[in-house]
Structure 1
């Protein structure tokens, strides 16, 4: 018969075995240990109203969402400006004074812009400024020369200055206005697109001039009267018989 065990004495066979200890809860706010490899949530995650930040887009995605340059808008705007002087030159043999004065006003503003612009070389500034002064030269010569004789040398000089103002002044003024609206036009467009703009506008000008020369084939004198224009030299009356 086994001997009785005294109270408090260790049980036989388990001598030295530590007694189990109850887990003591950590104080509130104490960070808990995180096992290796466990993802750590972002600060503020899980709180009411917290919004997770979207990852930054990669450069490839950022470039794909860039806005295309307004090449079509510039092309249409140039064509709208250039067609009417070309048509009047073909129909009446001259460019109207109001078109020349509009060109003069635009060229003066473009002249000031070219002088204050800092990104262009000095020699390009002076070359552009010289061309943009041609409409102003025409205005000055028109004030100085007071003759209406077509065979007079002074009248020929005035006419040549007006011709130079139109032929050279309009393209340069349009180019400067494009740079005012779109400063990075040259760097953000390819040479192919720039030549596309030039080709389309030049084609519109050539066709408008040809239509002015042949206005009697599809317009009549009443069309010009109703629009407030003078009659071209060879306009067709409304009741004229159709050509054979």
Structure 2
């Protein structure tokens, strides 16, 4: 006599729904982790990250206009792609550096645009590149956003705790400025 309970059929690991969630989470987390880490280490987001977001957003904005015609530029979602350009224009017009309220507001606007914009840009690009990715609904969308938020938060916290896991040499060998509170010693990335 067989006492085994029949098991339910197993779903494939990578069905279409899982692929969409993983692609959205991977793209968003990959783009958002580095700015979150540098914000944790240095308290700033590097200009390269602002400019990378600007280049991706501007490319998507222009490509959509060329592919679909200029009327597509009237859509709010497409116009949102100009937020990094707005930040650059404001940075150009307003005085650079300093401690004024305007400078601080511009700094935090850049942080918000970059930290929120990179994952949003990744989600937008995933929808453009992966057929049916726009079908992410409810729980799947929440799962992708949750993964991206978790990875970005973990990256930020890792950045704030960098003296425990990275040395000054790790930063310098990678071409980054060694923060004041970095740990001395041979880096973990140096052999």
Tell me the TM-score normalised to structure 2 length: 0.75
Give distance in 2, aligned partners of 1:168 and 1:83.
11
Give distance in 2, aligned partners of 1:117 and 1:178.
17
Name which one, 1 or 2, has greater alpha-carbon Rg.
1
| Structure having the larger proportion of residues in helix | 2
Change in Cα spacing, 1:159 to 1:236, as seen in structure 2 (3 Å) is same
Task: Specify the alignment match of 1:213 in structure 2.
Answer: 160
Give distance in 2, aligned partners of 1:125 and 1:134.
14
Larger relative contact order (Cα-Cα within 8 Å, sequence gap ≥ 6): 2
Query: Gaps (5+ residues) in structure 1?
Result: 1-66, 240-244
* Contact 2:169–2:185 under 8 Å retained in 1: yes
| Structure 1 residue 141 displacement after superposition | 1.7
Question: For 1:147, what is the secondary structure of its paired residue?
Answer: coil
* Contact 1:88–1:95 under 8 Å retained in 2: yes
Matching residue within 81, 102, 105 for 2:31:
81
Task: Specify the alignment match of 1:174 in structure 2.
Answer: 122
* Contact 1:110–1:176 under 8 Å retained in 2: no
Aligned residues: 167
Matching residue within 149, 154, 161 for 2:102:
154
Matching residue within 196, 200, 212 for 2:143:
196
Matching residue within 8, 16, 25 for 1:68:
16
Change in Cα spacing, 1:164 to 1:130, as seen in structure 2 (3 Å) is farther
Give distance in 1, aligned partners of 2:167 and 2:23.
33
Tell me the TM-score normalised to structure 1 length: 0.60
Q: What stretches of structure 1 move > 4 A for 4+ residues in a row?
A: 113-118
* Contact 2:31–2:119 under 8 Å retained in 1: no
Greater CA drift, 106-115 or 194-203: 106-115
Give the alignment's Cα RMSD to 1 decimal: 2.5
* Contact 2:28–2:119 under 8 Å retained in 1: no
1:108 aligns with 2:58: yes
What are the superposed Cα offsets for residues 20-74 of structure 1, whole Å, 9 maximum, x if unpaired?
xxxxxxxxxxxxxxxxxxxxxxxxxxxxxxxxxxxxxxxxxxxxxxx73532234
Matching residue within 55, 79, 91 for 1:142:
91
Matching residue within 73, 77, 95 for 2:45:
95
